[in-house]
Structure 1
Amino acid sequence: MAYIKKYTKKDGSKAYMFKAYLGIDPLTGKERHTTRRGFRTISEAKTAISRLELEVKEDGLPTSQRKIMTFQELYVLWFEQYKTTIKESSAFSQRSNIQLHILPKFGKLKLDKISTAYCQKQVNNWFKTVKNYHNLIGLTRRILNYGKALKQISSNPMDNVIIPKRKDKTTNKINPNNFYDKQQLQTFMKTLEEHASFQMYVVFRVLAFTGIRKGELSALKWSDIDFKTHTLSIKRTVAFDQNGKLYCQTPKTKNSNRLLSLDKETVEILKKWQNKQRKEMFKKGINIDKEDNLVFHNNNGGFIQNSIFGFLNRFTTKYNLPPITPHGFRHTHASLLFESGATVKEVQERLGHENVKTTLDVYTHVTKSAREKTANKFAEYVSF
């Protein structure tokens, strides 16, 4: 909607102007109007109005009529939509990455002032300082694409950056020493049995003999264990929500939902722990026969996940044991499975990897004992 008006210029000549309604700004919710002057005829003014209406229809409000946001402002709008498409734990992790690495470099900049050259500079810096730099590049590109969708910018400056590649691919692989061989595991478990609480002994027995993730272990309930069939069901995992608090969510991938067989000794140890826990809970007025309690819990009755880290570090240091992380027991289980003769497919299914490539990439490091056996197997086979 627009109207044309004739007016007199300072030099006394006649000209035409128009005032046009452009629509509602989707960002502010306010009406937008524009006034343009200097047309010699009504026909020129009408032509300009038609051209303007077409531009608004195709490209949105003209830049001069729109407030250009900062990257920080755009990020806030984008993240509100993005977090609905991923799990809470992923939202927590990605928001942390953005706040730690991206916003300090881009946050205060106006979107139309962000150039490809500037983006390239940050990409090069991330390449040198951040292990998962590809993730930061992808997040920045997504945010700027949202700005393009909102007509804040006409093109995405991240689209033309050159992405560096690491020459040494081993830098992204796991620590090859973050697992125990058979003898080290035996020593660790014996020391644990003698000097730690029974719950911690059971925790690491389950981690080492099933290969489940620490989050999956923390979310285990007694209803997940079938003592008759000697099986363990993985149905959920513990993760951080957007506020940094632990909660239960669906497992990491579709393949993470799985049914695991348990060895007889681990079953007996779990039974013993259940009876011990039942007595402890009974003293507190809680009957675990009626309530679906967690198999493991911290001193406050909550998830044990965070307690495992600190305990393991203190314990290995105190008793001069090789350092290892909780995830290292997953590596240990995989390595010993390979050493015992399990196939790649069997290891993949037991660990809940979505594809076999993950199993091959992450667990190609086998124990020293297995590597030594390789040469012996060959010599025995050729027999000369």
Structure 2
Amino acid sequence: MKDLENESLDNKYLEKNEIAEFLNVVKLFGRFNDLEMFYLFIFSGMRSGELCALQWNDINFETNDIRINKTLYTPRGNMREYKLTPSKTKGSTRTFDIDGSVIALIKAHKLKQIEAKNSAISQGIKCVDSNFVISRINGHPYTQRMIYIRMQRIIRRTSIKKNATPHIFRHTH
């Protein structure tokens, strides 16, 4: 019985070597936003909806703080039809420190995001000013489903055999 309990617990988080392998694959094969998205997951313990709702004004680059006070709700999974709703529970609203290396990565991402958006606009792509940290080039937010798809694309390139969803990063954290 104890082996069954330990086995199920072991599958709920990633070991250090699995995190390292996952991030190496992200660096090699990740797409736009992937590196920043997965670093934020691993080093913050955010839920998917919280990461999707994270906006630039939620990050304090001077104090290395991130504020979580909302989640993204997409009833039909459509990037254009979303609502920002309060955090899952009262205790879910929080502010926490994030490692300086992750903050530096996010700062650089902000510049890349601006460049990508300007390039898209110059190509005639209609963009919105939504202020999301992790967004499509057109400014619309990622949905939880999109994060899951992006993660599965990376997991398939690793030796990780766990049934890993984005929530595994919350347990890992």
**Selected match of 2:118 from 282, 287, 290:** 282
Aligned position for 1:259: 95
Aligned position for 1:327: 167
Where does 1:235-274 land on structure 2 (aligned, <5 Å)?
235-241=69-75, 246-274=82-110
Per-residue deviation at 1:214? 0.7
- For the Cα contact (< 8 Å) 1:235–1:257, is it kept in 2? yes
Aligned position for 1:294: 132
The amino acid of 1:179's aligned partner reads Y
Structure 1 pair 193/253, CA: closer, same or farther in 2 (3 Å)? same
**Selected match of 1:201 from 23, 30, 35:** 35
Determine the C-alpha separation between the residues in 2 that align with 1:311 and 1:292.
21
Where does 1:141-152 land on structure 2 (aligned, <5 Å)?
none
Aligned position for 2:152: 313
SS at match of 1:183: helix
Percent pairwise identity: 28
Per-residue deviation at 1:247? 2.1
Structure 1 pair 175/311, CA: closer, same or farther in 2 (3 Å)? farther
For residues 33-80 of structure 1, what are the alpha-carbon distances to aligned partners after superposition, in whole Å with 9 as ceiling and x for unaligned? xxxxxxxxxxxxxxxxxxxxxxxxxxxxxxxxxxxxxxxxxxxxxxxx
SS at match of 2:136: coil
Per-residue deviation at 1:198? 4.4
SS at match of 1:318: coil
Aligned position for 1:231: 65
Q: Which has the higher contact order (CA 8 A, sep 6+)?
A: 2
For residues 170-203 of structure 1, what are the alpha-carbon distances to aligned partners after superposition, in whole Å with 9 as ceiling and x for unaligned? 99xx764031111211121112112112410110
SS at match of 2:43: helix
Name stretches of at least 5 consecutive residues in structure 2 with no aligned partner: 123-128
Name stretches of at least 5 consecutive residues in structure 1 with no aligned partner: 1-169, 334-384
The amino acid of 1:325's aligned partner reads T
- For the Cα contact (< 8 Å) 2:120–2:137, is it kept in 1? no
C-alpha RMSD over aligned residues: 2.5
Determine the C-alpha separation between the residues in 2 that align with 1:225 and 1:273.
13
Is 2:19 aligned against 1:181? Answer: no
Aligned position for 1:210: 44
- For the Cα contact (< 8 Å) 1:178–1:325, is it kept in 2? no
| TM-score, normalised by the number of residues in structure 2 | 0.81
Structure 1 pair 313/292, CA: closer, same or farther in 2 (3 Å)? closer
Determine the C-alpha separation between the residues in 2 that align with 1:186 and 1:303.
27
Structure 1 pair 303/199, CA: closer, same or farther in 2 (3 Å)? same
Determine the C-alpha separation between the residues in 2 that align with 1:190 and 1:299.
24
Determine the C-alpha separation between the residues in 2 that align with 1:243 and 1:208.
24
- For the Cα contact (< 8 Å) 1:220–1:296, is it kept in 2? yes
Further displaced range: 198-207 or 243-252: 243-252
- For the Cα contact (< 8 Å) 2:29–2:154, is it kept in 1? no
Larger radius of gyration: 1
Where does 1:1-384 land on structure 2 (aligned, <5 Å)?
176-241=10-75, 246-285=82-121, 291=129, 293-298=131-136, 301-304=139-142, 305-323=144-162, 324-333=164-173
Determine the C-alpha separation between the residues in 2 that align with 1:221 and 1:320.
33
Determine the C-alpha separation between the residues in 2 that align with 1:221 and 1:192.
22
Structure 1 pair 252/243, CA: closer, same or farther in 2 (3 Å)? same
- For the Cα contact (< 8 Å) 1:298–1:307, is it kept in 2? no
Determine the C-alpha separation between the residues in 1 that align with 2:46 and 2:160.
22
Per-residue deviation at 1:302? 2.5
Further displaced range: 188-197 or 250-259: 188-197
Whichever structure has more helix as a proportion of its residues is: 1
